[in-house]
Structure 1
Amino acid sequence: MGCSRVATSFELIIISRLLVGICAGVSSNVVPMYLGELAPKNLRGALGVVPQLFITVGILVAQIFGLRNLLANVDGWPILLGLTGVPAALQLLLLPFFPESPRYLLIQKKDEAAAKKALQTLRGWDSVDREVAEIRQEDEAEKAAGFISVLKLFRMRSLRWQLLSIIVLMGGQQLSGVNAIYYYADQIYLSAGVPEEHVQYVTAGTGAVNVVMTFCAVFVVELLGRRLLLLLGFSICLIACCVLTAALALQDTVSWMPYISIVCVISYVIGHALGPSPIPALLITEIFLQSSRPSAFMVGGSVHWLSNFTVGLIFPFIQEGLGPYSFIVFAVICLLTTIYIFLIVPETKAKTFIEINQIFTKMNKVSEVYPEKEELKELPPVTSEQ
């Protein structure tokens, strides 16, 4: 994309952007799955939030470089677009040194020696027998299941509530209106009296708030748990959308109401960064076992990007039709998602993958993790190394 100006070809931007989108789609699914599989149980939540943290850092860096007096100008935009290649180059250089997922090696490749070596590299010590035993237990529990395709995933009763939960959470994450908030933010800042030339700095400040709160989520996810952060985050977003609706409706009659709108935008960003943004991808790793996890990420990623596209496509029409009441739509979605989480989604903190799936086994009203397979003997619980 950075060469498009020299090449005088806008087609180069379109093709490059398509390739960047494909890479982003793959990475958004593979990275959280990889980190979730290699993380020890006591750090799985924190490491699972890290991908979202770096996404927010990337957004903030783009907002800073995208300031008009930096690179968002006639001379700087090719450099701005070209900088997207820097992280990709770093990945190409560093990824060959990363160990393969121990779960992938043992469960799918049946190479226990390689899995043990990968665990020793990741942990920094030789005694990894407990974790190997836990992975072996997971392998035994789903031995006859084989690879579960997306089509098979939708047909398996034993994965019904896991699949529905991921669809609700990934859909709720985007349909709760996070992109609409950012879309509307500039207008809110302008209505509050922020000079037009300074709006870009306020927007970057909002991005900084997003980074700080996601950073906080890294440290509190193992303390408070996934379920509480989801409930807290969606509840904050719900309240922010409701108050923002009232503030937008009254901003022409009450002089200080635009400032309430700014508070609502920042509150929404805080709430979304605590739960709805980072937790759903983490839960995909936790509530599915190795054989179904890749397909679950395909479904979750598809719902995520389709919902993202839908909000971007229809929000201008919602705004035109409902005006200041546009965010009522997102408030309803936040409410419904919160109710679903409260009633259905269990806490997964400090549990092994097998223990989590045994919770869903009861919810799905089946006798074992995969009733479609042949009967397996009862397996004792295994505690992984902390």
Structure 2
Amino acid sequence: MYKSTERAGAQYTKMAAEQHGNEGQTEKQSTDQIQVAVDKLYKPPSSKHVTGRLLLAIVGATMGSFQFGYNLGVINAPEKLIKEFMNATTHARTGSDLHDAAQTNLWALTVAIYSAGGCLGGVSAGWWATRFGRRGGCIMNLLIGVLASVLMFASKRAESYEMIIIGRFIIGIHCGLYTGLVPLYLSELSTPGIRGAVGVLHQLAVVTGLLVSQVLGFPVILGTRASWDFLLGLAIVPCLVQGVILPFCPESHRFLLLTRGDEAASRKALLQLRGSSDVEDEIQEMKAESDICENQMSIVELLRLPSLRQPLIIGIVMQLSQQFSGINGVFFYSTSLFEDAGQSEQTAKYTTSAVGGTMVLMTLVTVPLMDRAGRRTLHLAGLAGMMGISAGVTFTLAFRSEVGWFVEASIALTLLYVLFFALGPGSIPWLIISELFAHDARPAALSVCVLVNWASSFVVSYLFPLLQSGIKDFVFLPFTVLLALFVTFTFLKVPETKGKTYEEIAALWRSDKSSTEELGLGKENYGATTKA
């Protein structure tokens, strides 16, 4: 194998020399052709074999995704109990109760502050991943999660609802970092044959955490006046599990070689991940990518680079389509939504758990579909389905007083709405960031896109209860309009990345002939050579 790699390297050198010597070609054209040669010569293995060490790394990383989902949904079930605590605390301090408007705004802040923290964590994710590594970044992040969990758990004993709000902000930072670190770590550890399926495991862990938080919030478990603080404090458990698992997981071999320049450590990590000594081709492929992408790109450089403008816009709109689909309105406020539709409080909580169960089951279905049906197809189908169902939910809620069975229909449609979200918009925006960008631009692009996602989540989670009290039964109508716009954009602009190399994807963005040389970065051509 090593000799064949040497021959491939010699062939690459010869081809590069021939291409550089062709008269009449520009330097950029020569570089483009060299990259195509690299892509043909150094292709990473497409094996679908999952080793024990890779599986351990997947489990350790996705506990961070589980944490994200748990804290996304944990605030839903104990809403009335925490509002009572806020009111009782205010009465004990001032001698008067919170009036309705103040309580609504305070609760909206408690819910939405999680997304505000996520914005801060998200925009820092690229820097954090470069500074500490992918696995190392996850380990460092555990300290933030432990602090937040302790604050939220201690809030009732300290008679301070402010500790809940501060804890929610800090746990938001914690989870914001994970939404960047986990997809990046999983993508870089995986071979092309399993990259799509492994990428979906991030979203599967998110919705599993969401479901667990909903089940634990049942009145017969922890959703009681005596134990809601334990419900919030259990966020420490994923941190403890990760603290045990992650030290035994390898760091990303791509990070070690392409960022740290440590070939020996990268080779050692690859040997552990692949369970084979036959890793030389992957090493050579990374070296070839390193020659093209010498420096990590900053966010400013990314924003200034014309050749990356289109993929960045696509990445941003994909994140917007996830959040402005209105799904977080269902995640955060489903219990009160179902109560408004006519269900009792207890029944509404059980229906909310059905939402989480639907998400888990449908996300499981998408694991094998991701590398078969394709990213664009699933995302488009999911958005189109949500658009039609959102209109249906609006119609049934508006006329439920006139048609009795419309109450049940609106609830059933809400479950279908979640099902179509899980089909594509739930997982694909996280997965596609790593596919649209090569190693040098990936951390910066990831920071921008994750920031957009969390900022959108903050807007939706804060405005949804205000919309709900303002336009009531028509609360899903604005999202129906936005979904129509996202369907149009996806159909016209988003490429299919299934099975394509980074070079093939990068070729889509080079039509304007612009280059990174304008920024003085020494990269005449953008694009890596690894397979998406």
Question: TM-score scaled by structure 1?
Answer: 0.91
Aligned residue type for 1:26: L
8 Å CA contact 2:515–2:525 kept in 1: the answer is no
CA distance in 2, matches of 1:378, 1:258: 53
Aligned to 1:353: 502
8 Å CA contact 2:397–2:473 kept in 1: the answer is yes
SS in 1 for 2:458: helix
Matches within 5 A, 1:181-330: 181-182=330-331, 185-186=334-335, 189-190=338-339, 194-330=343-479
Distance 1:383 1:83, change over 3 A: closer
- 1:119 is the counterpart of 2:270: yes
Aligned residue type for 2:188: E
CA distance in 1, matches of 2:160, 2:404: 49
CA distance in 2, matches of 1:339, 1:136: 40
Match of 1:50 among 196, 201, 206: 201
Aligned to 1:73: 224
Match of 1:16 among 154, 167, 174: 167
Aligned to 1:84: 235
Distance 1:95 1:16, change over 3 A: same
Once the two structures are TM-superposed, the CA of residue 199 in structure 1 deviates from its matched residue by 1.5
SS in 2 for 1:224: coil
Match of 1:366 among 513, 519, 528: 513
CA distance in 1, matches of 2:455, 2:317: 13
Once the two structures are TM-superposed, the CA of residue 354 in structure 1 deviates from its matched residue by 2.8
Distance 1:237 1:90, change over 3 A: same
Distance 1:266 1:370, change over 3 A: farther
Aligned residue type for 1:38: L
Greater CA deviation, 90-99 or 2-11? Answer: 2-11
Unaligned runs of 5+ in 2: 1-151
8 Å CA contact 1:32–1:282 kept in 2: the answer is yes
Greater CA deviation, 44-53 or 3-12? Answer: 3-12
Once the two structures are TM-superposed, the CA of residue 191 in structure 1 deviates from its matched residue by 6.0
Number of matched pairs: 380
Once the two structures are TM-superposed, the CA of residue 273 in structure 1 deviates from its matched residue by 0.7
RMSD (Å) for aligned C-alpha atoms: 2.5
Aligned to 2:259: 108
8 Å CA contact 2:506–2:526 kept in 1: the answer is no
CA distance in 2, matches of 1:166, 1:347: 13
Aligned residue type for 1:152: E
Once the two structures are TM-superposed, the CA of residue 321 in structure 1 deviates from its matched residue by 4.2
CA distance in 2, matches of 1:293, 1:86: 30
CA distance in 2, matches of 1:194, 1:369: 58
CA distance in 1, matches of 2:340, 2:453: 31
Aligned to 2:149: none
SS in 2 for 1:294: helix
8 Å CA contact 1:65–1:72 kept in 2: the answer is yes
Distance 1:196 1:376, change over 3 A: closer
CA distance in 2, matches of 1:370, 1:343: 30
SS in 1 for 2:223: coil
CA distance in 1, matches of 2:336, 2:407: 10
Aligned residue type for 2:427: P
CA distance in 2, matches of 1:6, 1:329: 41
Match of 1:169 among 318, 324, 328: 318
CA distance in 1, matches of 2:168, 2:465: 23
8 Å CA contact 2:217–2:231 kept in 1: the answer is yes
Greater CA deviation, 190-199 or 54-63? Answer: 190-199
CA distance in 1, matches of 2:525, 2:425: 38
Per-residue CA shift, 1:69-111, capped at 9, x if unaligned? Answer: 2111122123212211010111122212221111111111122
CA distance in 1, matches of 2:478, 2:464: 10
Per-residue CA shift, 1:294-325, capped at 9, x if unaligned? Answer: 11111111111111111122223333443333
SS in 2 for 1:2: helix
SS in 2 for 1:346: coil
8 Å CA contact 1:137–1:379 kept in 2: the answer is no
Greater CA deviation, 180-189 or 237-246? Answer: 180-189
Question: TM-score scaled by structure 2?
Answer: 0.67
8 Å CA contact 1:185–1:265 kept in 2: the answer is no
Query: Which is higher, the Rg of structure 1 or of structure 2?
Result: 2
Aligned residue type for 1:136: K
Per-residue CA shift, 1:172-224, capped at 9, x if unaligned? Answer: 11011002234564456446654332221111111101111111111210111
Identity percentage over the alignment? Answer: 37
SS in 1 for 2:485: helix
Aligned to 1:41: 192
Once the two structures are TM-superposed, the CA of residue 61 in structure 1 deviates from its matched residue by 0.6
CA distance in 2, matches of 1:34, 1:237: 30
CA distance in 1, matches of 2:165, 2:314: 35
Once the two structures are TM-superposed, the CA of residue 33 in structure 1 deviates from its matched residue by 0.8
CA distance in 2, matches of 1:381, 1:297: 19
Higher relative contact order at CA 8 Å, sep ≥6: structure 1 or structure 2?
A: 1
CA distance in 1, matches of 2:310, 2:216: 43
Greater CA deviation, 167-176 or 188-197? Answer: 188-197
CA distance in 2, matches of 1:10, 1:184: 20
8 Å CA contact 2:502–2:530 kept in 1: the answer is no
SS in 1 for 2:221: coil
Distance 1:366 1:238, change over 3 A: same
